[in-house]
Structure 1
Amino acid sequence: MPPAVSSINPSQGSVSGGTTVTITGTNLTGATAVRFGASNAASYSVNSSTQITASTPAGSPGSVPVTVVSPSGTSNATVSFTYTAVLPTVTAVSPATGPASGGTAVTLTGTNFTGATAVRFGSDNAPSFTVTSSTRITTVSPSGSPGAVPVTVTTPSGTSASAAAAYFFYVPAPFLTEISPSAGPTGGNNNVTLKGANLSNATAVRFGAAVSTFTSVSSTEVTAKAPPGSGVADITVSTPGGSSNPLAYAYVGGPVLLAVSPTSGPASGGAVVTLLGTGFTTTTSVKVGASPVSYVVLSDGELTAVVPPGPSGAVPLVVTTVGGTSDALTFVRVEAPVV
């Protein structure tokens, strides 16, 4: 008598196969094959003349007849097994942000990733991806436009849904337009204000290769503490959107005051003195004693200033630039003779 199949339990399973099913019927002893449609079971075991345990092969969505083959014949195709499409799901994207230029290494967590054929960020295919397990994929973001896009995984079973937890946000690159001041002392430690666009969530501010401490004020402003340095350094701001264009920042040495001429003048004020030295180009003030005075920078090594009135006697004279304050030279106020 040929075998006969009366039922199968469970009667449905994943298209990826591997579902363990129990086949019930008659005359099952000596079975030489168990088939799901045209495909042989991945494995099977004859438990008795009325029962077989089998593991389903992979299949396509839909129903297929289940048959048992023995030397006496093949059972009728009256019992079916239904393959159900188990779609992949993306439950987490890490990191969830990156530059619009692409190239961010991203890890996807979810389910049913085995056999993935595509990973997409919005409508764009990832340039590469690796399925490390059924629940994990490592991939690289393609370039995109600023904003959020769903990340989806496609397998032979279909494409994952655009879940709320499966979005990647493309961040626009930061851009600098202004730096103030644009120069400072070689010893650093002065405050510098950077202005531009897309500066939110700044991760680093650099003066050349030197990393600065900083505060994000807004999407258009960052304040930073200049580190020590020399020469001209390119200042850049980094955010999840990438690194900004550079703006030049000059490190300036402190001024050196070598001579003052004349060295004395009337206590009534008005004497015009010439100061000789170096580093005068970025002069911000000249003081005679505690009083700021008017001045004119003639060159990096020369400037003139007007001495204000004051009590007779010696007073210190100093020059301050963005690089610091010079050592003092002495100017002597002299009382006019009394006739």
Structure 2
Amino acid sequence: DTASPCHIPAHAEGVVPVGLQSHGADWEMWDVNFHYAEPPNVTAAYPTRGAVSGGTRVVLTGENFPTTGRATCRFGATPVLALERTATTIVCASPSLRAGLINVEVSVNRQDFTLSGLQFQYVAPPSAYVVSPRTGPSVGGTIVAVQGDHFSAERSLEEGTHCLFANRTVGEDVSHVVSSRLMRCETPAASEPGGALLELSVNGLDHTSDLQTFRYVPSPEVEGAYPLVGSEAGGGVVVVYGSFLFDSDDVSCRVGTIAGIQASLVTADEISCLMPSHAPGPVQLDVTLNGHDYTREELLYDYERLFEVLGPVPTRVLAEGGGEVSLSFWPSDTDAELACVVDSMPVPASKASLGTITCITPPRAPGFAALDVQMADAEVISLASVTLEYQVTPVVKHLGPSFGIDAGVSVIKVAGRHLVGDDVFCRLGHDDVVSATRVSSALAKCEAPAHAPGLVVLEASVGDDAQQFSRNDRVYEYVKETAAVGATPRDGSQAGGTIVRLTLSA
């Protein structure tokens, strides 16, 4: 077979015969028909960009596309056969080409291509290397930071880089390209918890396959917290309780605008938060299981001002415990339930008056202890600690004399141990407390007060308010005072030896 090229002249639409005519011989051939048709016109292409690896299904829209025969697309200088076509659309897969802009045209006879000037952009496909966080609630709304390469900041789905979660494209309003290496995407809602493949798209159709996954988890639910009051200095632990069904290593709390606060998932029902310092007043308290999505239930934590504490009264108590001390504090206008803290040991307190509390001291080794005020079950709110001295309990071993007249005035020598300090007291019975003179740590002297005849227990105290006493049960006897009202005989030898009988008052 031989071929002879011919240039077809312009002609009206329709079918005409085509033949050969020899100018050197007397013969003609008219056995081929040629179809004149309206030239195709391409008006739009979608999408207008794709990866350099090719394979993007490009839909060319226009008119005068014949529904028979083979249609061809040409990307730059590279022709490809159409995959589908109708009278108004032709679909072609983009070939692999280098990055850049090229013209895309169509032909219905593989020879005559349109001259529409439509352009298609080849881009390097985006890649995702790091995704953070990798978990979020099923309700969606998690802002995911994606680090990678070749991100495009165009705003439209057709032109920019966008995220897809489990084949669901995230709209242009929630995908934001920060740079060519960083973008942020907001997760859509999921019908149920589970893993979702996170992919990137350059045109809303094609997407990457970097095997990055995002895990949808049940949303945390907060029911309450305790305590909801604490010191402006922080340091207290608040337990938030509710439903936290996702075991996470990225648990944290947020107080007001302070995020990323240290926390731990105690159980599926409890999260503990270590409260930071904060200005006095109520603030919102939230928790997160992924370090990003915080709960938004109305949960207010009240920061109290630090108290200036004065006292204690008394300043010394016995090591055996049980002493009552009072503390004054300012500001005094608090409604919070308060407690005393003795060397980090909380003890109950009661309000004695506005700005004053009392508490019973616990047992402790002799020495000095720090005394503070705290919110009940919360942290210390004292601006500074005050000092409480614990002393060894005094021991009374011997009394001399062990009896005296009911009028008192007898000086009693109290022998024992641990009679120390500047203030020593004696107590005879339950009510009669007198100051004593300390001779040494083993001896003190006190003057017996008047008392009805009978036996009483003498105890010693070394506290500065005579509040706590020894427990040794040393007995002192009060006897009725008597006087001589007569003598028989009334005279005798100056050499002595006379026996005189005295008559005493009743």
* TM-score between both structures, scaled by the size of structure 2: 0.39
Among 203, 219, 238, the residue aligned to 2:374 = 238
The alpha-carbon deviation at position 254 of structure 1 amounts to 3.9
The alpha-carbon deviation at position 318 of structure 1 amounts to 0.8
SS in 1 for 2:484: coil
RMSD (Å), alpha carbons? 5.3
Partner of 1:337: 484
1:27 aligns with 2:162: no
Among 198, 213, 229, the residue aligned to 2:348 = 213
The alpha-carbon deviation at position 100 of structure 1 amounts to 2.3
SS in 2 for 1:39: coil
* Contact residue 395 and residue 472 of structure 2 kept, 8 A: yes
Among 309, 319, 324, the residue aligned to 2:470 = 324
The alpha-carbon deviation at position 38 of structure 1 amounts to 1.7
The alpha-carbon deviation at position 307 of structure 1 amounts to 4.8
* Contact residue 451 and residue 478 of structure 2 kept, 8 A: no
Amino acid at match of 1:255: P
- Counterpart CA distance in 2 for 1:180 and 1:264 is 34
Partner of 2:282: 148
* Contact residue 216 and residue 222 of structure 1 kept, 8 A: yes
| Correspondences of 1:82-97 after superposition (within 5 Å) | 97=229
Spell out, residue by residue over 1:40-83, the C-alpha distance to the aligned partner (whole angstroms, 9 max, x if none): 56569xxxxxxxxx843453479xxxx8899xxxxxxxxxxxxx
* TM-score between both structures, scaled by the size of structure 1: 0.54
- Counterpart CA distance in 2 for 1:306 and 1:152 is 67
Among 319, 339, 362, the residue aligned to 1:227 = 362
Partner of 1:183: 316
Partner of 1:286: 427
| C-alpha spacing 1:335/1:309, structure 2 compared with 1 (3 Å) | farther
- Counterpart CA distance in 2 for 1:104 and 1:308 is 55
Partner of 2:414: 276
- Counterpart CA distance in 2 for 1:139 and 1:310 is 64
- Counterpart CA distance in 2 for 1:188 and 1:213 is 14
How many residue pairs match? The answer is 263
Spell out, residue by residue over 1:251-303, the C-alpha distance to the aligned partner (whole angstroms, 9 max, x if none): 344433344444555x473543132224555545532x677275443445312
Among 390, 413, 431, the residue aligned to 1:251 = 390
The alpha-carbon deviation at position 305 of structure 1 amounts to 0.5
**Which structure 1 residue ranges, 5 or more long, are not aligned?**
7-24, 45-53, 71-90, 110-118, 154-159
Spell out, residue by residue over 1:118-142, the C-alpha distance to the aligned partner (whole angstroms, 9 max, x if none): x9866x6547689x9xxxx998765
| C-alpha spacing 1:61/1:93, structure 2 compared with 1 (3 Å) | farther
1:39 aligns with 2:160: yes
Amino acid at match of 1:237: V
| C-alpha spacing 1:168/1:250, structure 2 compared with 1 (3 Å) | closer
* Contact residue 283 and residue 300 of structure 2 kept, 8 A: yes
* Contact residue 183 and residue 250 of structure 1 kept, 8 A: yes
Among 325, 339, 359, the residue aligned to 1:192 = 325
Amino acid at match of 1:303: K
* Contact residue 180 and residue 192 of structure 1 kept, 8 A: yes
Amino acid at match of 1:256: V
The alpha-carbon deviation at position 227 of structure 1 amounts to 1.8
- Counterpart CA distance in 1 for 2:235 and 2:279 is 13
- Counterpart CA distance in 2 for 1:290 and 1:40 is 89
| C-alpha spacing 1:43/1:4, structure 2 compared with 1 (3 Å) | farther
1:101 aligns with 2:243: no
- Counterpart CA distance in 2 for 1:129 and 1:208 is 25
Amino acid at match of 1:146: P
* Contact residue 194 and residue 221 of structure 1 kept, 8 A: yes
Partner of 1:113: none
- Counterpart CA distance in 1 for 2:349 and 2:230 is 21
* Contact residue 285 and residue 299 of structure 2 kept, 8 A: yes
- Counterpart CA distance in 1 for 2:164 and 2:394 is 89
| C-alpha spacing 1:256/1:143, structure 2 compared with 1 (3 Å) | closer
| C-alpha spacing 1:178/1:27, structure 2 compared with 1 (3 Å) | farther
Amino acid at match of 1:178: G
- Counterpart CA distance in 2 for 1:318 and 1:225 is 24
- Counterpart CA distance in 1 for 2:471 and 2:408 is 24
Amino acid at match of 2:325: V
Larger radius of gyration: 2
Amino acid at match of 2:450: P
Partner of 1:56: 169
| C-alpha spacing 1:61/1:204, structure 2 compared with 1 (3 Å) | same
| C-alpha spacing 1:189/1:222, structure 2 compared with 1 (3 Å) | same
| C-alpha spacing 1:102/1:214, structure 2 compared with 1 (3 Å) | closer
